[in-house]
Chain A
Amino acid sequence: MLKLLGGFIAGVLFVAIIAMNMAGGMMIREVPSPFGLEETAARIQANIQKLKHKGWKLSGLREPSKAVAAAGSNVPPVLLVEACSTTYSKPLLKEDASRILSIMMPCTITVYKKQDGKVYIGLMNAGLMGKMFGPKVSEIMAKVQEDQNTFVDFDPSKPPPPLNRKRPGGGAGGGPDTGGC
Chain B
Amino acid sequence: MKTSKSVIAALLSTSLFLAGLAGAAEQPATTAETDKTVVAKSKRETSTADHSKYEELQKQFKQGQEVTEACIDCHTEAAKQIHKTKHWTWEYTNPKTGQKLGKKNVINNFCTATKTNMTFCAACHIGYGFEDDSFDFASEKNVDCLACHDTTGTYKKYPGLSGHPAYEPYEWPAKSGKFKPAVDLQKVAQNVGKTSRRTCGACHFFGGGGNAVKHGDLDKSLENPSRYLDIHMDKDGLDFTCSTCHSDGKHDVAGSRYHTQASDNKGPLLRGQKDDRNPATCQACHGDTPHEEDERLNTHARKLACQTCHIPEYARSPQLTKMSWDWSTAGKMGEDGKPMKIKASSGMIAYDTKKGDFTYDRYVIPEYKWFNGEVLYTLFGDKVNPDEVVKINDFRGEPNDPGARIWPFKIFRGKQPIDAEKRSLAVFHTAGDDDTAFWQNFDWDKALTTGMKAMGTEYSGKLSFVSTEMSWPITHMVAPKEDALSCAQCHNKNGRMQGIDGIYMPGTDNTPLLDKLFYIIALLALVGVVIHGAIRLINDRKEAE
Binding site for B on A (CB under 8 A): 36-39, 41-43, 62-64, 66-74, 76-77, 80, 100-101, 103-104, 113, 115-117, 129, 132-133, 159-163
Question: Given that A62-B25, A160-B345 are known contacts, is A70 also in contact with B483, CB under 8 Å in the complex?
Answer: no
Distance between B411 CB and nearest chain A CB, rounded to angstroms? 13
The chain B residue with its CB closest to the CB of A40 is B345
State the B residues within 8 Å of A (CB).
3-4, 7-8, 11-12, 15, 18, 20-25, 27, 226-229, 312-313, 316, 318, 320, 342-347, 350, 359-365, 479-480, 482-483, 489, 494
Partner of A103, one of B15, B361, B365: B15
Q: Could you say which residues of chain B place their CB within 8 Å of the CB of A101? A: 8
Closest to B344 in A: A160
The answer, among A68, A74, A115, for a CB contact under 8 Å with B21, is A68
CB neighbours of B23 from chain A (8 A) = 67
Nearest B residue to A105, CB-CB: B15
Q: A41-B345, A80-B18, A117-B364 are in contact. Are A70 and B25 (CB under 8 A)?
A: yes
Please state if B362 and A77 are interface contacts (CB–CB under 8 Å).
yes
List residues of chain B with CB within 8 A of the CB of A161: 345
Question: With A74-B479, A103-B8 in contact, do A163 and B24 touch (Cβ < 8 Å)?
Answer: no
**Chain B proximity of A74: nearest CB distance (Å):** 4
CB neighbours (8 Å) of A80 from chain B are: 18, 22
Whether A74 contacts B7 in the complex (CB less than 8 A), given A64-B21, A67-B21, comes out as no
Contact B11 A38 (CB under 8 A): no
Across-interface contacts of A133 in B (CB, < 8 A): 4
Q: Given contacts A64-B21, A69-B229, A76-B313, is CB(A103)–CB(B345) below 8 Å?
A: no
Q: Bound state CA distance, A32 and B8, in angstroms?
A: 28
Q: For A37, list chain B residues within 8 Å (CB).
A: 362
A69 to B234, CA, bound (A): 12
Residue among B23, B313, B482, B489 facing the most chain A CB atoms (10 A cut-off): B313
Main secondary structure of the interface of B (DSSP, over half): mixed
Q: Is the CB of A103 within 8 A of B12?
A: yes
B25 to chain A: which residues have CB within 8 Å? 62-64, 66-67, 70
- What is the minimal beta-carbon distance from A155 to any residue of chain B, in angstroms? 14
- Which residues of B have CB within 8 Å of A66? 25, 318
Collect the chain A residues with CB atoms within 8 Å of residue B18's CB: 62, 64, 80
In the bound complex, residues from chain A placing their C-beta under 8 Å from that of B494 are 116
Q: Report yes or no: B226 in contact with A77, Cβ–Cβ below 8 A.
A: no
A115 near B489 with CB under 8 A, answer: yes
Across the interface, do A104 and B21 meet the contact criterion of CB distance under 8 Å? no
**Complex contacts, A103 vs chain B, CB 8 Å:** 8, 11-12, 15
Cβ contact within 8 Å between A163 and B480: no
Instruction: Say yes or no: A74 contacts B483, CB within 8 Å.
Output: yes
Residues of A within 8 A of B22 (CB): 62-64, 67, 80
Tell me, in angstroms, the Cα distance from A64 to B342 when the chains sit together. Answer: 29
CA distance A113 to B362 in the complex (A): 10
Neighbouring A residues of B361 by C-beta, 8 Å: 36
Write out the residue numbers on chain A whose beta carbons fall within 8 Å of the beta carbon of B312.
74
Which residues does chain B contribute within 8 Å of A100, judged by CB atoms? 8
Q: A73-B228, A80-B18 are in contact. List 20 more A-B contacts (CB 8 A).
A: A36-B346, A36-B359, A38-B320, A62-B18, A62-B25, A63-B25, A64-B21, A64-B22, A67-B21, A69-B229, A72-B228, A73-B482, A74-B313, A74-B479, A77-B362, A103-B8, A104-B11, A115-B365, A162-B343, A163-B346
Quick check: A38 and B24 within 8 Å, CB to CB?
no
Given contacts A64-B22, A66-B25, A113-B363, contact A73 B483 (CB under 8 A): yes
Closest A residue, CB atoms, query B359? A36
Closest A residue by C-beta to B345: A42
